[in-house]
Structure 1
Amino acid sequence: MWKFRRRRRRYSFQYQEKKRKQMLARGRQILSWSVLIFAAALCAFVMVMLFGRQTMVMEDSMKPTLSRGQSVYVNRLIYKFASPKIGDIIVFYPNGNQKLHGYVKRVVAVGGDTVQIKDGILYVNGKPQDTGSAIYDKMKDAGIAESRIRLGSGEYFVLGDNRNESEDSRSANIGMVTRDMILGKVWHVGALERELG
């Protein structure tokens, strides 16, 4: 009887010790995952602070994609390694004047392309763009793109998505946007809003 109680106590003690070790291991695992997640979040925050920037859309020229007063994040690092592409939404300073607010526009043509606006339709390299699109209205004012323009190396032709309410590359005040005027690329707005909202 005495032996049986000792065995039972020893078994109970071993069982409790095993459970304690399992709980400690589980606690360490949770702690290590927590530290890893915190470090990743901190890294992402530092990257955004160093290489990103938040800016506000100041006008309705990018509707319906972006609205006046909407905050967007700008990736200032991406164009150090790659060139802006057609379709990118960029933030730039007209004529490089950083005292002005940044303009938010979409790249529609890049260096080497020809641009012309005829009968309210954008032509890039002689091919009509935006045809059949419900998003873009016919442009009432062709501006400097009434005549065919060939973009030089490192030049970009930008338009607002709300074509008739946008001051963009059609305006002689802005014209072609060069690399040195560009602050960066607007991070994917829809995905960002889904993550934050």
Structure 2
Amino acid sequence: MRGTITKICILSLFFYLRERKDRTKVESGEYTDEIRGGRVWDRRLISAGREAEKREKLKFEKKKNPRLIRQIIIWAAEIAGACAVAVLLVAFFGHRISNSGDAMTPSIRNGEVVLVDRLVIDMKELSRGQIVAFRPNGNKEVHFYIRRVAGLPGETVQIKEGKLYIDGEELKSYEYVSEIRDAGIAAEPVKLGADEYFLLGDNPQGGEDSRSSDIGIVKKDDLYGKVWFNTTSGDHFGIVKK
């Protein structure tokens, strides 16, 4: 009986001293008061675990960064490409010109704004009836003129009794103007060279065109482009028909 009591006293003293020791270490900062699974964990082990988690997170972020950089580069390239395409489209197909005068009435009225296709001039030959923008004699100091192609390179143009003749025959298919009162220089046959055009307005009395000696035959190099779109709101808005 005494032996049993002695053992109990010794165990009680052991646990008491152990508890005192743990409290002392907690107070000194050696142990943390975080309890996991019923045990007091070493703060240094917890700190090491947290550092390991941070390192893993940094590794994960480093792995993500190259993908992000590549994605940013792709986005930047796409934006730059879209801007380049937009600039080219505007440069070759979207140059705006304001029509001045009544020479192209009723097709294009005075003050209406049109878009010019500059690329078509170099890519293929113009056809009769197409509307073009040009500067007379290549003079860059004057406003753009807008007129319709009546005579093509190599043809002989003449205006007789208010009618358009090509190579000696009346061009009945040229329906853009019904009567040309003033033949101008085309009163006599006008032979066009390999790169020359004879241009007329739809309203011959409304302004000058190739009949006038001030404008005359228009060379291909003086053509700025083909008029293809009318941007003015109203019944004329849309693609300019041949």
TM-score normalised to the size of structure 1? Answer: 0.71
Report if aligned partners of 2:113, 2:230 keep a CA contact under 8 Å in 1: no
1:122 to 164, 186, 211: 164
1:165 to 177, 189, 206: 206
1:46 to 59, 67, 87: 87
Q: Provide structure 1 residue ranges, at least 5 long, that are not aligned to the other structure.
A: 1-37
What CA deviation, in whole Å up to 9, does each residue of 1:41-81 have, x standing for no partner? Answer: 86764333221310000011001110000000011111111
Separation of aligned partners in 1, 2:218 and 2:144: 12
Report if aligned partners of 1:57, 1:68 keep a CA contact under 8 Å in 2: yes
Could you say which residue in structure 2 is the equivalent of 1:148?
189
Report if aligned partners of 2:162, 2:180 keep a CA contact under 8 Å in 1: yes
Q: Where do residues 164-183 of structure 1 align in structure 2 (5 Å cutoff)? A: 164-183=205-224
Report if aligned partners of 1:93, 1:183 keep a CA contact under 8 Å in 2: yes
Which structure has the greater CA radius of gyration? 2
Separation of aligned partners in 2, 1:93 and 1:100: 7
Could you say which residue in structure 2 is the equivalent of 1:193?
237
Q: Where do residues 34-73 of structure 1 align in structure 2 (5 Å cutoff)? A: 45-52=86-93, 53-73=95-115
Name the SS of the counterpart of 1:187 in structure 2.
Answer: strand
Separation of aligned partners in 1, 2:134 and 2:87: 23
Tell me how many residue pairs correspond in the alignment.
157
Separation of aligned partners in 1, 2:142 and 2:178: 28
- CA 173–132 in structure 1, closer or farther in 2 if over 3 Å, else same: closer
Could you say which residue in structure 1 is the equivalent of 2:144?
102
Could you say which residue in structure 2 is the equivalent of 1:90?
132
TM-score normalised to the size of structure 2? Answer: 0.59
- CA 174–150 in structure 1, closer or farther in 2 if over 3 Å, else same: same
Tell me how large the CA RMSD over aligned residues is: 2.7
Separation of aligned partners in 1, 2:174 and 2:147: 21
Name the SS of the counterpart of 1:78 in structure 2.
Answer: helix
- Comparing both chains, which one has the higher relative contact order based on Cα–Cα distances under 8 Å and sequence gaps of 6 or more? 1
